[in-house]
Chain A
Amino acid sequence: MPATIVQTNSQPFAPAEIDPVTLDIIENALRNARVEMDATLVRTAMSPGIREQGDAFPLIADHNGKMIVGQFGSFIGGFLKQFDGTLEDGDMIFLSDPYSCEGAVSHSNDWLILLPVFKSGRLIAYTAMFGHQSDIGGKVVGSMPINARSIFEEGVRIPPVKIWRKGEYNEDLIKLVMHQTRKPDWCQADLNALIAACRVAARRVVEMADRFGDDVYVSATQELLARNHRAMKQLIAMAVAEEPVSFEDYICDDGMGYGPYKIKCTMWRDGDKVVLDFQGTDPQSSASINFYLNENMFKMFFGIYMIMVFDPQILFNDGFYDLIDVRIPAGSLLKPHFPAALSGRTHALGRIFDILGGLLGQKTPEFLNAAGFSSSPHLFYSGNDHRPGKGGEWFQLFQIGFGGIPGRPMGDGPDGHSLWPGFTNVPNEFLERYFPLMIERYETDPDSGGAGLHRGGNGIHMTYRFLSPGTISIHDDRWFVPPWGVNGGAPGKRARKILERADGSHCVIGNKVEDISVAVDDQLHFITWGGGGWGDPLARDPSLVGLEVLQGLVTVAGARAYGVVASEDGEIDAAATEALRHHMRSTRAPLSLFDYGPGVEALRSACEAETGLPAPIQPAWPELEAAQ
C-alpha cells in the first residue's frame, strides 16, 4: 500500500507564469540550499567518514518527490510506493534498510532522513540526506563484514519509521537504535547533523515560497524539470544509437575466495527512450558484495555521465527520468533477493561507472575515458589504545582511500585523486593526532597509472605504522582484473596490500579481509590501483616521460612502456628511444579500442605468481538459497 499524504489544505497548486530571471534565481537558491546542507552536515558531524571525507548525499525534491537539486537522484517515488503509513506536517522519516526503499540506500550503514516540507497545510517539497555511519553494530567493527551471509549480520536495520511524528520526537526509538552501535556518540552526532541539514533546506524552501508565492515556487520546480527533459531528449537523440551496444566488466572476488563476478549492460535507443538492460549480469553472491541498485539512481548516473561526457553545460535534475528505461534482472548481483548481505556493495557501485563510461564512449572513442572508477578502498583499524597515558581508550578508524583517475580525452588522469564527488583525503596529521598511527609513506605508486598518450593517474602507496595493537579489515577491488585502457592505452596496475611485521617479514594479504590482528610497529602497505591509460603510449612526448621519471611518478623501467629510454635523473637517450619505439611499433598487435589486459583465464593462471594471492575460483550458483 502506498503512503497516504495528509494535507489540511487540499487546494492544488495553480500553474504560474515564470520569467526566466525568477527561474534562474530559484534554481540558484535551491543549489545554494543544497550546499548549505553539506556545510551544516560537515560542521556538526563527528565520524571522520562524514566530517573529514564527505561521505554523505543531500537532495531537495519537488512536492511529487522528484529531485530538483542533489547528486544521486530521487528515491522518494519508490519509498512512497512501499511506505504503508501517513505523511503529515511535523513528520520526519528515518530509515536504513535497503530492502524497504528499493535500494535508495544500498547498505544499512547509510542512514537516511527524509523530511516532507509542508507550508500552509500543503506538501510543497521534500528534503533528504543520507550519510555513512562508521559503525551500526553487527559482527565486525565498522559493520561491513565481507563474509556476511545475510543482512542480519550487518548491524541494526531500520525500516522507514517516524523519528518525529506530528512534531513529537520519538526518543525511545533513538535509544533503541543507539543501543546497537559501538559508537553511539558518533551515530548520535551524525544523525543530528543529517536532521539539521534537512531542516536548514526546508527552511530555505519555505522562505523561497514566501518570497515568490507558493504557486510560483512550485511552477518553477516543474519548469526546471521540463527544461532538463528537453535538453536530455536532444542529447539522447544525438548520442545514443538504435543499434544495441554492450559492455561488461568484473568485480574481482567476493572476499570468500570466489570470483570474478560479471556485470553486463546493454544499451540501445527505442524512439525517444534509452533502454539500459543488465541482462547477462551474474547472479547474486552469497557474501556481501551485492549491490541493490535503485533504477532511478542508475538513471541519474546515466544522465550525469551523458552530460559530463557530451555537454557539461546542461544542468541536471530528475526531469528526464521518463526518457530512460532501466532493466535489472531480479536475483542478480544488482538486485539480490532479501535477505542477501549488502554491506560490501561499494565495489559494484564503483564498477557501474566504469561500465557506463565504456558503454557511452564505444561509438565515440574521442569521448571515451579509460577505467579507474573502480572501488572505494576502505580501511578499518580498531582496538584499545595501549600507549602510555591513553588509558586503553577504545578507538576505531574507518578511512576511505583513493586510486588513480583514468586517462581522459582532455589529458592525463590526476594521481591519487577522488572519483567520488566532494570527497577529500584525511590529513595525515589528523590521523596521527587522533589515532595510534604514524603514516610513514603517503605517495603515489610509480608506474601504477596505465601508459598512454594520456597517462592514467597513479594509485596511492600509503604505509600505516600501528602504534597500538588492534585489528584491521580491508575492502578493496581491482586487484585481479585490471582497470582497462582505451584507444591504445595500457591497463592500470592492480591494487595490493602488504603487511610488514615488526620483525621485518612481509606477507601479502587479500584485498577483502576481516579481523587481521596487528601488533605495535607492524606496518601496512595499502596500495591502490592506477587509472587506465588513454591513447598510444608511443605517441607521448619522451621529454614528458623523462620529467615524470625525475618526479618519481614513472620509473626508468616503467618508461619503457612508452618506448622511452631514460636515466634515473630523467635524461632521455634519443637514439635508443627512437630504436625502441620503432621496434615496439613493428612488433606489437594493432591497437584496440579497449585493452582489458590478458583476459580472465590468463589472469587466473598467473595470479599466484603476479599478485602473491591464490586465484579466485569461478563462482557457481547452485546454492543461491544459501543466503536465505
Chain B
Amino acid sequence: MGYRLGVDVGGTFTDLLLFDDASGAFWRHKTPSTPQDSSEGIVTGLDAICAQAGIAASDISYLLHGTTVATNAVLEGKGARVGLVTTEGHRHIMQIARSYVPGGLAAWIVWPKPVPLAALEDTVTVKGRISAAGEEVRPLDETDVRQALGALKERGVEAITISLINAYANGDHESRIGTLAREIMPGVPVSLSHEILPEMQEYERTLTTVANAAVRPVVGKYIASLRNRLAERGMAGKLSLLRSDGGLMSSAKAEEHPVNILMSGPAGGVTGALWVAKHSGFSNILTLDVGGTSTDVALIENLEPRRARTTDVGHLSVRASSLDVKTVGAGGGSIAYVPELTRALRVGPQSAGAVPGPVAYGKGGSAPTVTDANVVLGYLPENLLGGSFQLDRESAAKAVQTIADALGIDLMSAARGIIDIVNENMFGALRMISVQQGYDPRHFALMGFGGAGPLHVNAVARLMGSWPAISPVSPGVLCALGDATTRMRTETARSFSRLAQDTDARDLVSMLSDMATQIRAELESDGLNADEIDTEFEIDVRYAGQAFEVPLTTPLDTLERDGIEGLLSRFDAEHLRLFTFNMETPHEIVNLRAVALGPVLNLPAAELPHGDGNPAAAKIRDHRLWMDGEERSAIIYDRSKLKQGDIIPGPAIVIEMDSTTLIENGCVARVDAFGNILIYLA
C-alpha cells in the first residue's frame, strides 16, 4: 500500500490527483501546463501536492500519467522527420493511401488534399520481394539498400520506418534493412512494420508504423526528461502511461510503442468517469470533458466504454485500439467573434488557450472568450476563497461588450448568446456519439468535468434530455483520477487466415497460449505478479470471402471443450443476430487476439458525512446572476462543506478549488454519498 499519483497534462492545465490506497482519501492540484516541456509543470505540481498531503515524493509508489504529447506531435506536424523505406514500385503508398475521398458524390471538390505523415521526398524504395505466402521471390539487394539508406541519411531524417510489401507474412527483409539502418545511422530509431502491426494491408500497416516512428523521438525525449526530474525529487515509484484504450502501460513500453498513447489524454476522462459511475450507481453515462481549448465526449453503456479498433488523429486513422472519443473545438478559452460578412455570432474553434488565456485571467488576453461570458453572467464569481486565480470581471465585460456592440444588443444578451452557442456545439458532438450511433440520450446521465464541464453540464443535459446532469467529485482533475484508478493492459494480435475446416482447436489453443505467455510476460516485466494478471482471448471469424469479421471472446478451456464447432455455432448465432441471415459458405478464422489485464484496483471511495438535507452550512454568500432573461438571486456554496443528502435548489453555484458547478433556474441538485452533485429538473 502506498500513494498513487494520477497526472493529466492538458493543453491549458496539468491536473494532479494523489490517492491514498489505504483510506481512499485524495488530494488534488492544478497547475498551468508548460507546453515547451510538460515535465516541468508536472514536477511543480508534484511538489505542491506532496506538500499538501504532507508526504515526500519518495512515498509515491505509482505515477500514472495521461499525456497529449504524442497527439500534438501528429496534429501539429511536430513529430520526427520520418524516412520511409518500402518495396520497389510502391513509393507512392502514402500519397495514394486508399484512394478514398470522404463525403458523398462530388465531395472531392471541397476536400483538402492531405500531406502524408512521411514526406514523399523522404520515401525510398529497395529491390527485393516477398510473396503473399511469405516466400522470397527476389533477394534483398543490399547494395541498393545501402544506397537508399545513405540517401535518407543525407536528407537528415530523424527516424526510420521500414515497411515492405507482404512483411506481415515474412519480416526477414525488414529485419535485415533494420540492421543496416542501425549501422549506417547509429542512434536513429528504427521501426519495422511487421513488429508494430503484423497484419495484412500495406497502407494501414505502413501508416501505423510511420505514426509510431514520427512520435517516438518526441515521446522518448519527454519520458526521459520526466524520469530525470522525478529522480531528482527522489520519486522512485513506477511510471506508467495511459493508453488510448484506457489501460495503462509502462513508460518503457510507451517509448517503444507510442502509437498506443496517441489518444491518452481523452481516455483519462473516460476512465475517471467510469470510476465515478461505478460508485454513484449509474451504468449509462455520456461524458462531457470541457477543457480550455476543446471538448471531448464519449459514451459508456453498462459500465463499458465503446472501444474502436482504430485511433483517429486528425484525418489519419491508425490501427491501434482506442476508446471511442469525439472532440470538438469548443472550450472555456474558445474565442467569440462576429464576422464582417454575415454579422453572425460565432464561438471557436480558435482559442485563447493557456496563454494569453481569457481576458478575465488578466494574463494579457484581449479577445472575449466563453470563460469571459461566464464571468460576466455571474456564473463564475470573482474573488472567492479557494480560487487560486483572481478574475477580472470589469475587463471581461469590456471584451464581451465589443460583441454586444457588433450585434447591436445589450451586454448580458451577448454573453448569454456566447454560452448558448458553445452549448449547442457541445450538444452537436454528443449527438454524434449517441443519436447517430442509435443510442437514445434520454437513457443516459450526462457527466460534466474538466475545468468548465460542470458550468455547462446542466444546460447541455437540458438540450439532450439526459438526466441527471452529474458534477462528479473533483471534476477538475477527473482525468487524473482516471489515470490513478484504471488497470494495466496490453494486447497482441496475429493474422491467422485459415479455413475453420482445416483448423484444429488445439492449434488455436496453443497459439493463443503462446500469445498469452508473451503479453503476460510483458506485464510481469512491468512488476505485476503472475497471479494478478487476467487474460482474455478474442478470435475473429467470418464466412470465407467476407471482408469483415465478428470478434468472439472465449476462455481457452471453453475452446478446448467445445472445439471449433462451438466457436462456429456462436459465430452463426451472432451473424444471424447482426445481419439476419446465415450461409452455407465455409468459415474462416481470421485473427487471434490476446489481452492481458492487470488487477482491478479495489480502491475505496471516501464517503461524506450525512447531513440533514439543508446545505445552509455550506453557504458562502448570496449572489446575483443573469439567467432566463433577467437578473436573479442565487446562493453560492462551498463544495468542501456539503454533506451527503444535501438538496440545493437552483439557481445556485457550487465552488471548489478548481471547478465551478452551475445549477440552473428550474433545476434542483442532490449531493450523493461520495460528494457527486446530481442535478435534475425541479
Point out the residue from A301, A417, A428 that lies within 8 Å of B165, measured CB to CB: A428
A386 within 8 A of B: no
Q: Within the assembled complex, what's the spacing in Å between the Cα atoms of A442 and B435?
A: 41
**Is B132 engaged at the interface, CB distance under 8 Å to the other chain?**
yes
* A44 touches which of B98, B109, B166, B546 (Cβ 8 Å): B546
Distance in angstroms from B95 CB to nearest chain A CB is: 6
Q: Mark B555-595, 1 if CB is under 8 A from A, else 0.
A: 00000000000000000000100111101010000000000
A43 at the A/B interface (Cβ < 8 Å)?
yes
Which residues in A have their C-beta under 8 angstroms from that of B108? 405, 408, 413-414, 417, 419
Closest CB in chain B relative to A598 CB, distance in Å: 27
Alpha-carbon distance A28/B430, docked complex (angstroms): 12
Judged by a CB distance under 8 angstroms, whether A590 is at the interface is no
For residue B110, which residues in chain A have a CB less than 8 angstroms away from its CB?
Answer: 308, 312, 410
B408 at the interface (CB under 8 A from A): no
**How many whole Å from B674's CB to the nearest CB in chain A?**
34
Of A4-12, A172-180, A186-194, A281-289, which binds chain B? Answer: A186-194
Question: Which B residue sits closest to A356, measured CB to CB?
Answer: B106
Q: How far is the CB of A397 from chain B (nearest CB, A)?
A: 13
Chain A residues lying within 8 Å of B166, measured Cβ to Cβ, are 429, 432
Cβ-based interface call for B23 (8 A): no
On whether A429 and B200 interact (CB within 8 A), knowing A25-B435, A416-B99, the answer reads yes
Give min CB distance, A135 to chain B, whole Å. 14
Q: Is A340 an interface residue (CB 8 A)?
A: no
Partner of A414, one of B101, B200, B201, B585: B101
The answer to whether A547 touches B121, judged by C-beta atoms less than 8 angstroms apart, is: yes
Give the chain A neighbours of B168 by CB distance below 8 A: 429
B interface residues, how many (CB within 8 angstroms): 57
Q: Are A430 and B201 in contact (CB under 8 A)?
A: yes
Q: How far is the CA of A425 from the CA of B91 in the complex (A)?
A: 16
> With an 8 A cutoff between CB atoms, is B202 at the interface?
yes
Contact A415 B95 (CB under 8 A): yes
- Kindly list chain A residues whose C-beta atoms are within 8 Å of the C-beta of B101: 405, 414, 417-419, 421
Task: Answer whether residue A83 sits at the interface, using C-beta atoms and an 8 A cutoff.
Answer: no
Whether the pair B579, A185 counts as a contact (CB closer than 8 A) is no
List B520-575 residues whose CB lies under 8 Å from chain A.
543, 545-548, 575
User: Contact flags (1/0) for A1-43 with B, using CB distance below 8 Å?
Assistant: 0000000000000000000000001001101100010001011
Minimal beta-carbon separation of B161 from chain A (angstroms): 17
User: A427 at interface (Cβ–Cβ under 8 A)?
Assistant: yes
- Return the CB mask of B66-105 against A: 1 if under 8 Å, else 0: 0000000000000000000000011111011111110111
When chains A and B are docked, how far (Å) is the Cα of A62 from the Cα of B660? 47
A553 to B113 CA separation, bound complex (whole angstroms):
15
Contact B120 A412 (CB under 8 A): no
Give a binary string over B124-158; 1 marks a CB under 8 Å from any A CB, 0 the rest. 00000101100001000000000000000000000
B624 within 8 A of A: no
Q: Once the chains bind, are B96 and A417 in contact (CB under 8 Å)?
A: yes
Q: Given that A188-B583, A196-B580, A429-B165 are contacting pairs, would A442 and B92 also be in contact in the complex, using a CB cutoff of 8 Å?
A: yes
Chain A residues near B91: list those with CB within 8 A: 443, 552
Contact B89 A463 (CB under 8 A): yes
A44 to chain B, nearest CB (A): 5
Decide if A553 touches B436 in the complex (CB within 8 Å). Answer: no
Query: B98 contacts A421, CB within 8 Å?
Result: no
A32 touches B437 (CB 8 A): yes
Query: Is B548 a contact of A42 with CB atoms below 8 Å?
Result: yes
How long is the Cα–Cα vector from A515 to B435 in the complex, in angstroms? Answer: 51
Contacting residues, chain A, for B106 (C-beta < 8 A): 304-305, 307-309, 353
What residue in chain B is nearest A442 (Cβ atoms)?
B90
Closest Cβ–Cβ distance, residue A50 to chain B (whole Å): 9
Contact check, A430 vs B104: say whether CB atoms are below 8 A apart.
no
Report the tally of A-B residue pairs with Cβ distances under 8 A. 192
B581 touches A196 (CB 8 A): yes
Q: Which residues in window 344-369 of A have CB below 8 A to B?
A: 353, 369
User: Nearest-CB distance from A367 to chain B (Å)?
Assistant: 9
- B contacts with A: majority SS: loop
Q: How far, in Å, is B624 (CB) from chain A's closest CB?
A: 31
Closest Cβ of chain A to B107, distance in Å, is 7
Known: A405-B101, A416-B99. A369 touches B92 (CB 8 A): no
Question: Which range contains the number of A residues in contact with the other chain?
Answer: 35 or more
Task: Give B89's nearest chain A residue, CB to CB.
Answer: A441
Cα A195 to Cα B580 with chains together (Å): 9
Interface string of A393-423 (1 = CB under 8 A from B): 0000000001001001011111111111111
Decide yes or no whether A228 CB sits under 8 A from chain B.
no
Interface residues in A49-63 by Cβ distance below 8 A to B read 51-52
- Pick the contact of A418: B99, B121, B204, B578 (CB < 8 A): B99
Does A199 sit within 8 A of B, measured CB to CB? yes
A500 to chain B, nearest CB (A): 14
The reply to whether A402 and B99 contact each other, CB–CB distance below 8 Å, is: yes
B112/A186 in contact, CB under 8 A: no
**A402-B99, A430-B200, A442-B89 known; A32-B548 Cβ under 8 A:** no
Q: Given the known A-B contacts A43-B548, A52-B547, are A189 and B100 also in contact in the complex, defined by CB atoms under 8 Å?
A: no
A242 close to B (CB within 8 Å): no
Contact with A along B422-443 (1 / 0, CB 8 A): 0000000001000111101000
> CA–CA, A31 to B438, complex, Å?
11
Q: Does B26 contact A (CB under 8 A)?
A: no
Q: Which residues from chain B contact A200 at a C-beta distance below 8 Å?
A: 580
* Given A189-B546, A442-B90, A444-B95: A551 in contact with B103 (beta carbons within 8 A): no
Check B282 for interface membership: any CB of A closer than 8 A.
Answer: no
Instruction: List 15 other contacts, CB 8 Å, given A28-B431, A43-B548, A410-B109.
Output: A42-B548, A43-B579, A51-B546, A189-B543, A192-B581, A304-B106, A308-B105, A412-B113, A413-B108, A419-B108, A421-B104, A424-B98, A427-B204, A432-B132, A432-B166
Offer 26 A-B interface pairs, CB within 8 angstroms, sorted by A. Answer: A28-B436, A44-B546, A44-B548, A46-B546, A51-B548, A71-B105, A192-B583, A196-B579, A211-B440, A301-B105, A304-B104, A308-B105, A308-B109, A353-B106, A405-B101, A411-B112, A415-B96, A416-B92, A421-B105, A429-B165, A430-B201, A433-B497, A438-B131, A442-B92, A443-B92, A570-B121
Q: Chain A residues in contact with chain B, CB under 8 A?
A: 25, 28-29, 31-32, 36, 40, 42-46, 51-52, 71-72, 185-186, 188-189, 192-193, 195-196, 199-200, 204, 211, 301, 304-305, 307-309, 312, 353, 369, 402, 405, 408, 410-425, 427-430, 432-433, 438-444, 460, 463, 547, 550-553, 570
